[in-house]
């Protein structure tokens, strides 16, 4: 009995830590939704039981926000599916030229934070002062592009979630069994009929999983919906939660009721995604060597590559250019495009922006929070993965489930739960960077766990066990054998979490103070308060930092592939 307790003790400690990070905040959200009070400094109870907090869903604001979220989520998923899956097919299966560029174009927007993309498109396509509309008026074209609309929200969310669809479908297309397509062609089927009746049906799990993932991401997104939806009077569930929590009187319990509804929708969508992705009847890859032949697009070869170029320009080039223009132009608000160049360009605003105390403080805060979250998240994910795949602990499966739980919880909801949970706990972390790091660890735990566990599953346990048999203690065997052999995967996870931590906004929305504000929050509030040039300047810095980390991650990944290829 004592031996079993000792064996399960490390697993129990890790489980308690994960429960503190994820499960406890969710419990506080549920309690707040069913009571009349929420935890706050000086509070002595949670009030009485009630179900009235869910009644807000039946109001015009609540129901309207719900319907808006669903419409925007479905639309964004459709755009993401068409763009992402289309580019994935061109890069993986077609004979289009520049396929390497198509691959890069399909992935590149992932490294542009959603808040930066939304801000850039607000500058580009505002119906009154957007640079695209000014250019259209100068050319005498009677068209107004309004990004503050349902179509604008769907477009922006769709193009920035398309890379997730690209990732999920690229592998499906590239690993598809070509024998079935060749058999259909031999029986006289045309190219488009083969694509419609063979290729696309075989990719259904990846396509459906990508569509549901894009829907869930759009459903829980706050910054894009706030920046582009608020000016057009379009409320979604995340922005409505923020409104309830940030306006006087604060309606925290009603916000919890909305949060439970949003979480329930996300749980259903996530469950559907897992069911679709895990379906086995679409399996066509066998042990037989198989390399799909390129699909000849004939006259459409250059058209497909042109679509990739257009997507790259729309999602990356135009946003970065408009940020650079606004950050360096002498005239931000203009009536004609010629006025932009008439005022000249200067780096003074950019230099002034990065020298401001609030920028420097927010940057330092962001780096500290991201580094803490990356180190803690990677360490906890390593421990949970080790218990799951290297021990016989009964808690292994439970640890995996808790680690993946944040996928089904909107980030803004988890952040709200973390606020209430840590206000109730006897630890003075509120008002410090520690609570922001805790929130970032919680929301990035699924990515950390999947990344570390993938590396651990590739490593044979016999190496570590041999050291133990020869007399080494288990911890020493882990430190001297397992960790060094997993070093590339661990470093990749650290860089991934560092990038995600720097981008994080929704989870820390209710947790920061004037002294602990991070860069994403500074960008959001600066733009909302009308400091357009300043927000554009710091957004550029934001993009450069994220891109540098992404490049570093790519270099590390290349080294890992070379290491695996050489076997050294």
Q: Which long-range contacts (CB under 8 A, 24 or more apart) does 543-550 make?
A: 543/111, 543/112, 543/113, 543/116, 543/320, 543/323, 545/502, 546/111, 546/112, 546/113, 546/499, 546/502, 546/503, 547/111, 549/495, 549/498, 549/499, 549/502, 550/111, 550/499
| 149 HSE (CA, 13 A, CB side) | 10
User: What percent of the chain shows pLDDT beyond 70?
Assistant: 85
Per-residue confidence band for 184, with pLDDT thresholds at 50, 70 and 90: low
Per-residue confidence band for 462, with pLDDT thresholds at 50, 70 and 90: confident
How does DSSP assign 467-489, residue by residue?
A: HHHTT--HHHHIIIIIHHHTHHH
Question: Is residue 228 pLDDT above 70, yes or no?
Answer: yes
pLDDT, residue 479, reads 81
Per-residue confidence band for 41, with pLDDT thresholds at 50, 70 and 90: low
Stretch 136-159: mean pLDDT, rounded? 93
Question: Is residue 283 pLDDT above 50, yes or no?
Answer: no
45 or 451, which is more confident: 451
Shortest CA distance to 122 belongs to which of 541, 535, 548?
A: 535
Q: Give the least confident one: 38-52, 88-102, 420-434.
A: 38-52
Q: Give the least confident one: 9-18, 217-226, 428-437, 516-525.
A: 9-18
Question: Is residue 461 pLDDT above 70, yes or no?
Answer: yes
Stretch 231-243: mean pLDDT, rounded? 92
Per-residue confidence band for 281, with pLDDT thresholds at 50, 70 and 90: very low
4 or 383, which is more confident: 383
Say if CB 318 and CB 309 are below 8 A apart: no
Measured CA to CA, the distance from residue 406 to residue 402 in angstroms comes to 8
Stretch 52-73: mean pLDDT, rounded? 91
542 or 271, which is more confident: 542
Per-residue confidence band for 92, with pLDDT thresholds at 50, 70 and 90: confident
Domains with residue ranges and CATH for the chain:
1-37+347-568 (1.10.3720.10), 53-335 (1.10.3720.10)
Stretch 243-256: mean pLDDT, rounded? 87
422 Cβ contact list (under 8 Å, min separation 6): 429, 430, 435, 438
Is 149 buried (19+), middle (13-18) or exposed (0-12) by CB count in 10 A? middle
Per-residue confidence band for 282, with pLDDT thresholds at 50, 70 and 90: very low
160 or 407, which is more confident: 160
Question: Is residue 207 pLDDT above 60, yes or no?
Answer: yes
Indicate the average pLDDT of the chain.
Answer: 84
pLDDT, residue 285, reads 46
pLDDT, residue 435, reads 96
User: What percent of the chain shows pLDDT beyond 90?
Assistant: 36
Measured CA to CA, the distance from residue 349 to residue 352 in angstroms comes to 5
Question: Is residue 77 pLDDT above 90, yes or no?
Answer: yes
Per-residue confidence band for 484, with pLDDT thresholds at 50, 70 and 90: confident
Measured CA to CA, the distance from residue 369 to residue 389 in angstroms comes to 29
Say if CB 368 and CB 433 are below 8 A apart: yes
How does DSSP assign 258-274, residue by residue?
A: HHHHHHHHHHHHHHHHH
Shortest CA distance to 403 belongs to which of 419, 420, 379, 425?
A: 379
Per-residue confidence band for 179, with pLDDT thresholds at 50, 70 and 90: low
Question: Is residue 227 pLDDT above 50, yes or no?
Answer: yes
pLDDT, residue 391, reads 82
CA distances from 164 to 76, 80, 159, 210 (A): 12, 8, 10, 7
Per-residue confidence band for 332, with pLDDT thresholds at 50, 70 and 90: low
Stretch 133-149: mean pLDDT, rounded? 90
Question: Is residue 2 pLDDT above 50, yes or no?
Answer: no
């Amino acid at each position: 009995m004592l031996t079993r307790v000792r064996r399960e003790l490390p697993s129990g400690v890790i489980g308690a830590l994960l429960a503190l990070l994820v499960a406890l905040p969710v419990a506080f959200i549920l309690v707040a939704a069913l009571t009349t009070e929420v935890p706050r400094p000086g509070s002595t109870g949670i009030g009485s039981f009630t179900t009235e907090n869910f009644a807000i869903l039946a109001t015009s604001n609540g129901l309207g926000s719900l319907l808006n979220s669903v419409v925007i989520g479905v639309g964004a998923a459709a755009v993401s599916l068409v763009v992402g899956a289309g580019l994935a097919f061109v890069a993986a299966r077609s004979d289009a030229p520049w396929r390497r560029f198509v691959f890069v174009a399909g992935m590149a927007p992932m490294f542009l934070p959603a808040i930066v993309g939304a801000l850039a498109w607000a500058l580009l396509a505002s119906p009154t002062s957007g640079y695209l509309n000014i250019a259209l008026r100068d050319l005498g074209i009677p068209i107004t592009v309004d990004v503050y609309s349902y179509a604008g929200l769907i477009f922006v969310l769709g193009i920035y979630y398309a890379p997730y669809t690209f990732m999920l479908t690229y592998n499906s297309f590239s690993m598809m069994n070509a024998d079935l397509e060749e058999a259909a062609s031999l029986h006289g089927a045309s190219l488009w009929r083969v694509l419609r009746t063979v290729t696309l049906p075989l990719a259904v799990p990846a396509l459906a999983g990508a569509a549901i993932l894009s829907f869930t991401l759009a459903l829980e997104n706050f910054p894009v919906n706030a920046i582009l939806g608020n000016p057009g009077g379009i409320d979604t569930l995340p922005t409505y939660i923020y409104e309830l929590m940030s306006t006087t009187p604060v309606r925290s319990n009603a916000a919890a009721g909305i949060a439970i509804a949003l979480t329930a929708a996300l749980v259903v969508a996530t469950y559907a995604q897992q069911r679709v992705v895990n379906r086995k009847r679409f399996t066509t890859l066998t042990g037989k060597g198989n390399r799909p032949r390129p699909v000849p697009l004939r006259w459409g070869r250059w058209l497909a590559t042109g679509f990739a170029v257009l997507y790259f320009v729309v999602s990356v080039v135009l946003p970065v250019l408009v940020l650079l223009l606004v950050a360096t132009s002498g005239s931000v608000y203009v009536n004609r495009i010629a006025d932009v160049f008439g005022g000249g360009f200067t780096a003074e605003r950019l230099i002034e922006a990065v020298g401001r105390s609030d920028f420097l403080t927010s940057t330092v805060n962001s780096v500290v929070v991201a580094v803490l979250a990356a180190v803690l998240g990677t360490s906890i994910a390593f421990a949970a993965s080790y218990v799951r795949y290297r021990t016989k602990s009964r808690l292994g499966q439970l640890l995996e489930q808790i680690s993946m739980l944040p996928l089904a919880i909107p980030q803004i909801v988890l952040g709200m739960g973390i606020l209430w949970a840590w206000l109730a706990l006897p630890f003075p972390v509120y008002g410090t960077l520690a609570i922001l790091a805790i929130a970032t660890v919680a929301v990035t735990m699924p990515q950390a766990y999947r990344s570390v566990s993938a590396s651990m599953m590739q490593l044979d346990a016999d190496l570590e066990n041999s050291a133990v048999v020869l007399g080494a203690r288990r911890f020493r065997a882990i430190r001297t054998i397992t960790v060094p052999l997993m070093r590339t995967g661990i470093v990749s996870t650290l860089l991934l979490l560092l990038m995600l931590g720097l981008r994080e906004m929704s989870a820390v929305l209710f947790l920061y103070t004037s002294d602990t504000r991070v860069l994403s929050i500074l960008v959001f509030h600066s733009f909302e308060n009308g400091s357009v040039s300043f927000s554009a300047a710091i957004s550029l810095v934001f993009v450069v930092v994220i891109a540098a980390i992404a490049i570093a991650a790519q270099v590390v990944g290349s080294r890992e592939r070379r290491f695996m290829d050489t076997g050294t």
